[in-house]
Structure 1
């Protein structure tokens, strides 16, 4: 068995959630207790029973942008699909491209609006080493304004082959999303309602916010032969002084730091690289794998992740390899719903 084979598992296709729970907090919750090596079946709405006054819940307030693009090649009329990743200060876009035939610099694409009409032209400039393209939209509007008109919800391909329905504009966004920039949702956060957050606050759980813009690399499987050979994707994140103070004070009073999602974990650990948590703003390519020493996190709320991904490796590193194997086997046996719109686990 290779090192990567240890992070593989068989999942019945029927368990890949195609839509969220009717009420966000009615999703199921598998509580994994590392100390007791126990598993318990609950619901997200039961979370206040597992958090205590003085704990600090750390959420990622990134906002998913309508980054999925559909268009036609101006020269051939052929179908084209892409994903907006980021924009530069001078208005250039970095995008992925998917089409039949070969693209070359100077080609242009006519992007279709969300109602199917021809809209802005996107002119391809240079292809990058990672396969993405630098392109210039032939319009004066800023990227977010254009995307509101021509962008679709960037669902992962395992949800309806990436085809959105109107409800996804709300469903694929956390209730506390603030800072636009993600091209995938921080999915553990999708389970929270305003009412649940209010209950936690009323019982003395502090809520701290950070931002990490989830990028397209989050879903990609590891294709290297070993974990050490894997080149980790980079994502932009920021944690300010106020959140640092909240978390530091929580530690001093003996509370636990409960990270909502692997994105929050990665940014907290990045900002703690010097030994203590400090404000941070910039890109992180931290790859958390076995033998990693966690400095900033005591518990994690996280969804069930795809096989052979860095997200699954992180969860195994935190929860323990065998206990996490048991948890995933149990979740499959009990027909939990997996991936972005699926259920969650709380690892304490």
Structure 2
């Protein structure tokens, strides 16, 4: 299969630049993946669309305020994207103006923090040694929310709230698991009132989520690796639901990839793990049989994944209808429920 087969025409004005005015009010397309038929609802309808007995799985990863601006000794402004803490004072960062960022170069960071490039790891990745420990408390104060590249504006104070889910807990993602952004405490409460069981996994979204597929054939694409963890409580709930033949609804492609990666020999692997699973048409789903997700970018691994789940022809037709009906796309856009 060629990646160009997973393309579609999207007017730029339908790429959401801001979240809906109020969380939990986005449009919701509902698809029957058996026949591809769709209906048009709203997020407020979500709890009433979920069958009794369904187990709903959410990703509770929290977005790290990973973008920090620093100044070189000559006054040049450079962006550092904090990717991974390697030891107490040492981080792996992605840097702007990368060709100029050589080993030994020194920078002044907010909060009277100093940094020096210790190693050039790749074309734009650097190991940076700091004068004091850098943790998420520091980044919460001095960092910026890393909005996706298709959002053509600087982050604002509102993004600090709206680009996090209401149940985000474990910090580590460099991008939001965006399907989660649609849920409010009120919607979650209504699920509980209806007796719908919920559980949480943690998958930290990596920068690779924005990486385009650069190979002509999807089979040649190498997926990035992401870290995830599953608690005993969640594993017990998932195994019980599968054993009893109940629906398992994954909220977001991150939850899908976590559950499908962790299912081995009829059980869900517990604890910390990592995945580079690439789900494409022909894949047989082992756990997930319902999916809630946003509308994805053309020629992306996420569009390939939902095509594997619902059928490529069904997704092609649904996306065409979504464009025609003015749905908003990508991270801050509208949502889709596939049953």
TM-score, length-scaled by structure 2: 0.95
SS in structure 1 of the partner of residue 149 of structure 2: coil
SS in structure 2 of the partner of residue 233 of structure 1: coil
Structure 2 counterpart of 1:108:
106
Q: CA deviation at 1:126?
A: 1.6
Cα distance in 2 for residues equivalent to 1:256 and 1:91: 46
Q: CA deviation at 1:49?
A: 2.1
Q: CA deviation at 1:248?
A: 1.7
Q: CA deviation at 1:34?
A: 0.8
Structure 2 counterpart of 1:95:
93
Cα distance in 1 for residues equivalent to 2:107 and 2:152: 25
Structure 1 counterpart of 2:216:
225
Contact 2:53 2:197 in 1 (8 A): yes
Contact 2:7 2:299 in 1 (8 A): yes
Match of 2:235 among 244, 248, 256: 244
Q: CA deviation at 1:130?
A: 6.8
Of the structure 1 ranges 92-101 and 5-14, higher mean CA displacement relative to structure 2 is found in 92-101
Cα distance in 2 for residues equivalent to 1:323 and 1:252: 29
Q: CA deviation at 1:145?
A: 2.4
Structure 2 counterpart of 1:266:
257
Structure 2 counterpart of 1:202:
193
RMSD: 1.6
Structure 2 counterpart of 1:58:
57
Structure 2 counterpart of 1:86:
84
Structure 1 counterpart of 2:149:
157
Structure 2 counterpart of 1:32:
31
Q: CA deviation at 1:234?
A: 0.9
Q: What's the CA shift string for 1:23-44, capped at 9, x where partnerless?
A: 2211001111111320111111
Structure 2 counterpart of 1:116:
none
Match of 2:326 among 332, 335, 339: 335
Q: Is 1:134 matched with 2:127?
A: yes
Q: Is 1:192 matched with 2:183?
A: yes
SS in structure 1 of the partner of residue 269 of structure 2: coil
Q: What's the CA shift string for 1:154-194, capped at 9, x where partnerless?
A: 11122234x11111110000000011111110000000000
Contact 1:272 1:295 in 2 (8 A): yes
Task: Return closer, same or farther for 1:275/1:248 CA change in 2, 3 Å cut-off.
Answer: closer
SS in structure 1 of the partner of residue 19 of structure 2: coil
Match of 1:301 among 272, 287, 292: 292
- List gaps (5 residues or longer) in structure 1: 114-118
Structure 1 counterpart of 2:161:
170
Structure 2 counterpart of 1:18:
17
Cα distance in 1 for residues equivalent to 2:280 and 2:114: 43
Structure 1 counterpart of 2:311:
320
Cα distance in 2 for residues equivalent to 1:130 and 1:262: 29
Contact 2:89 2:131 in 1 (8 A): no
- List gaps (5 residues or longer) in structure 2: none
TM-score, length-scaled by structure 1: 0.93
Q: CA deviation at 1:319?
A: 1.2
SS in structure 1 of the partner of residue 278 of structure 2: coil
